[in-house]
Amino acid sequence: MSRDTRTIRDAVEARLAKRHRAEKRFQFYGLSAIALAVGFLALLLISIIGQSVTAFSAHRITLPVTLEAGLVDPAGDASEESLRRGQYNAAIQAALREQFPGVEDRTALRELFGLYSAVNAARLLNAVVEDPALVGETLDFTLPLGDDADLYLKGATVEESLRRGPAPLSITLEDGGARLSSDAAVFGDFAETVRRVAGARIDTALARAAAAEARAETLIDADEREILLAEAERARALAATLEARADGTNGLSPGAQTPSLLVRAAGGVFALDQIAPGAASARASVIVAPDAALTGPVSDWTLWELETPPAARLITDRQIAWTRTLEARGLIENGFNHWLFTNADSREPELAGILGALIGSILTMIVTMFLAVPIGVGAAIYLEEFAPKNRFTDFIEVNINNLAAVPSIVFGLLGLAVFINVFGMPRSAPLLGGMVLALMTLPTVIISSRAALKAVPPSIREAALGVGASRTQAVFHHVLPLAAPGILTGSIIGLAQALGETAPLLMIGMVAFIADPPSLGLSGFTEPATVMPVQIFLWSTGAERAFEARTAAAILILLFVMILFNAVAIYLRRRFERRW
Amino acid sequence: MTNYANLDRDERDALETPAATVYHPAPAGQTVKVSVKDVAVTYGGKAALYKVGMEIPDRSVTACIGPSGCGKSTFLRCINRMNDTIDNARVTGSIRIDGQEVNDRAVDPVVLRARVGMVFQKPNPFPKTIYENIAYGPRIHGLAANREELDQIVETSLKKAGLWQEVADRLTAPGTSLSGGQQQRLVIARAIAVNPEVILMDEPCSALDPIATARVEELIDELRENYALIIVTHSMAQAARVSQMTAFFHLGSLVEYGPTEEIFTNPRDQRTQDYITGRFG
């Protein structure tokens, strides 16, 4: 007997260590799963926040715009009609030209006016129409700087380095340009850079030629071989051209593939066009005219190298020089990007905002809420409390569960086929979007509401029935209030899901570019609109680099709205929760 | 639970035949309140109660005893048609309260349940205030014309349930904040508030400690003055203490029914004897 007891205890103890280990192992797995999830979440948030930072600030330029009567009031009677036909963009252009009087050339002017977008003229127009007394006046007009210049100032797109000029530089203005010369080889470093970049390109070209020739050797088909040989020839020709240019006997010219060098001296900015052999002097074009009279060599000057070659950036040398000059003049300042919150979508990233999509989302959610919640909760109450349990209700239940798993785009197709084609509802409208999303949300609302109703203990129902309440009274007086927190949570989860939904809305045309936010009244429901996730989708496919940051910013705003939604859900839940 | 389908045919016939030792009509001098005849219940085709017949006297306590799954709760739930709420339950036979058929289609269960109050095994106050718990029934039945009358009903009911002293100063506290015994008395008060004639109690003390049980038993004894009480209990001691009549159920049929004293001192059926002496159950 005692031996039996001992063997049993030994066996138990032997297993005990194993059981403890298994327990520890399981806990470790759980913990590492959570750590992994939290880590990825943090990574995601950090990357989104990091990307969105540049979207929340914007450089704005303030120009003294003179509203000449002839320009903005063509009819001369200060009537609204006349004011609306005024050339406001021309007024802004004139103000910008005033800053850089030397710019005459058409290409240069186009680049100068590329620093802002003409869409801003509409705001100037509105200001004048509102206050016709402004005609003839000069007002300080603030407008967002163009996205390329904005990104440049944020240091996101162009690598640049500034160095003090090592030796005094004398500048002589010639026709259409300037000659910069010094005793020392002040441009030597830059010439070296240009040569190095050219050398690398030559190597690439030669390698390509060699590769093409080698492949041609192995080919039998004469046509193909000819094509390859022609390619090799072209590559060799390119290498020869580059070599001739890099040779430097006739001077060295930076090209589109090489970095550019600007020189800032005496309040002016020059761009180097050709470096003379020896690198002590160079021919340059004048971007910003020097303000001081140029007598004798300048000792305080800056070598300003733009390491990103022009071909790899969307902002030209001239635009960079003008932007920096305007900044130095105190006309450009950085601030909070309020346009992101007060504008609807725009083709110009600096003017694009989330407001239109936000209003669209709110209107859509209102429709979804007023359709999905009452219908869903009503269906849940009927199915859970009143419906007889038979094959038909089983069939309905199975189908509701299946509907919850149907891909959302199918609901979009349904909306397109039924709501638009059969009922002829307005496409792209929040009303339609809300209806489609309500269809999508219904199963979620019904399932979670049924679960909440089922969770109410039957004793409460019995108590109510026991004192002579009818079934309806028992449900509405006792069961529903107790199920309310659960129903609320389920509904809000469903709505949050709908808020983040894109696919079905693509089908019903809510993906359109909408430049005006829908009005906040009743008519807003039938006006074309877009919603936040679709806006994110649209921006993520935007060609301009500035949309990248705005996409991240829009995601952040959407996340914020979602968190707000859930916070309200938790608050309401706490508020209504009762114990039983 | 006993699987009745597994019983022999003979055994089942034996249960269905009115072999139960039943002394009725009710003892002389007492009016019959509830008259039960041939009541049988099936749940989804499975028999839970075989033809039961008995007469329950007014202004007395009738205890239903028997082992688990013997059908006593099922029987109790027939009287106020609580079995209607169970989807696959089928009730046949006749139950008359004061001569009026309960199982009649014309009888609205809502009206019936106002006449036949019910107290459940676990105290189940509404998650509302004490006042609201009592006032709910009178309000839905329109028993009070105004606030004063409603206040009056609440006070009377709580007094009858012996709870007034304890809760008079906190009528707005949630009903669920009371102790188990108090909750059960609150639930009894709630049942009284709609002015019923019969009160059904399904193991009202099984979730209570002995002191609370004693308090509720006292209350049951007091309520006997005005109501017909039918109480299901697992405690034979309780049945002996509070009831005047006792019905012993076994395997879905009524085995023996008679004055409590006789059932406990001189049972006529062997099964009753075995049960009350603790040989099974």
Mean predicted confidence (pLDDT) in A403-419: 92
Q: Name the pLDDT band for A369 (thresholds 50, 70, 90).
A: very high
What's the pLDDT score for residue B21?
56
Q: Find, among B224, B227, B226, the residue nearest to B244 by Cα.
A: B224
Environment class of residue A90 by beta-carbon count within 10 Å: exposed (0-12), middle (13-18) or buried (19+)?
A: middle
The reported pLDDT for the residue numbered B14 is: 41
pLDDT at B200 over 90: yes
Residues of chain B neighbouring A462 (CB-CB closer than 8 A): 82, 85, 118, 120, 124
pLDDT for B15:
45
In this predicted model, what pLDDT tens digit does every residue of B173-195 receive, in sequence order? 998 889 988 999 999 999 989 88
Residues A80-122 have pLDDT tens digits of 888 888 889 999 999 999 998 888 889 999 999 999 998 888 8
Q: Are B191 and A466 within 8 A, CB to CB? A: yes
Angle A72-A77-A79 (CA atoms, 0-180°, nearest 5)? 75
Is A578 in Cβ contact with B140 (below 8 Å)? Answer: no
State ipTM.
0.84
pLDDT digits (tens, 9 = 90+) for B102-127: 888 888 888 899 899 999 988 999 98
Counting Cα atoms < 13 Å in the Cβ hemisphere of A267 gives 8
Query: Of the candidates A457, A473, A482, which has its C-beta nearest B140's C-beta?
Result: A473
Rounded to an integer, the average pLDDT of A229-252 is 83
pLDDT of A10 reads 84
Asked if pLDDT for residue B53 goes beyond 50, the answer is: yes
pLDDT above 50 (res A344): yes
Instruction: Give yes or no for residue B6 having a pLDDT over 70.
Output: no
8 Å CB contact of A466 and B117: yes
**Contact check, Cβ <8 Å, A463/B191:** no
Asked if B111 lies within 8 A of A389 by C-beta distance, the reply is: no
Confidence check: pLDDT of B23 > 60: no
* Residue A184 confidence (pLDDT): 85
B126 reaches A (C-beta below 8 A): yes
Quickly state the pLDDT bin for A354 (edges 50, 70, 90): very high
pLDDT in tens, A444-472: 999 999 999 999 998 899 899 988 889 99
| Chain B residues within an 8 Å CB radius of A457 | 124
pLDDT at A196 over 80: yes
User: What confidence tier does B229 reach under pLDDT thresholds 50, 70, 90?
Assistant: very high
A572 CA: distance to closest CA in chain B (Å):
18
What sign does the CA torsion over A228, A229, A235, A237 have?
negative
> Strand runs (DSSP E) across chain B, as ranges?
21-22, 32-43, 46-57, 61-65, 89-97, 100-101, 116-119, 198-202, 228-232, 245-250, 253-259
pTM of the model: 0.81
Instruction: Test A467 with B136 for CB contact under 8 angstroms.
Output: yes
**pLDDT value at residue A291:** 76
**B14 vs A357, more confident:** A357
**Partners of residue A482 in chain B, C-beta under 8 Å:** 127
Chain A (404-463) residues lying within 8 Å, Cβ to Cβ, of chain B:
457, 459-463
Tell me, yes or no, if A467 comes closer than 8 A to chain B by beta carbon: yes
Separation in Å, CA of B127 to nearest CA in chain A = 5
- Residue B113: its chain A contacts at CB < 8 A? 465-468
pLDDT in the model for residue A21: 93
> What is residue B26's predicted lDDT score, i.e. its pLDDT?
53
pLDDT score for A293:
67
Q: Does the pLDDT at position A8 exceed 60?
A: yes
Specify the pLDDT at position B161. 86
A545: alpha, beta or left, given left = phi > 0 and alpha = psi -120 to 50?
alpha
Q: Which of A415, A309, A321 is nearest to A368 (CA)?
A: A415
Asked if residue B1 has pLDDT above 60, the reply is: no
Does residue B4 carry a pLDDT above 50?
Answer: no
State residue B281's pLDDT score: 57
Chain A residues closer than 8 Å to B126 by CB? 460, 463-464, 478
A578 vs B: CB within 8 A: yes
- Measure CB to CB from residue A467 to each of B122, B137, B176 and give the nearest one: B137
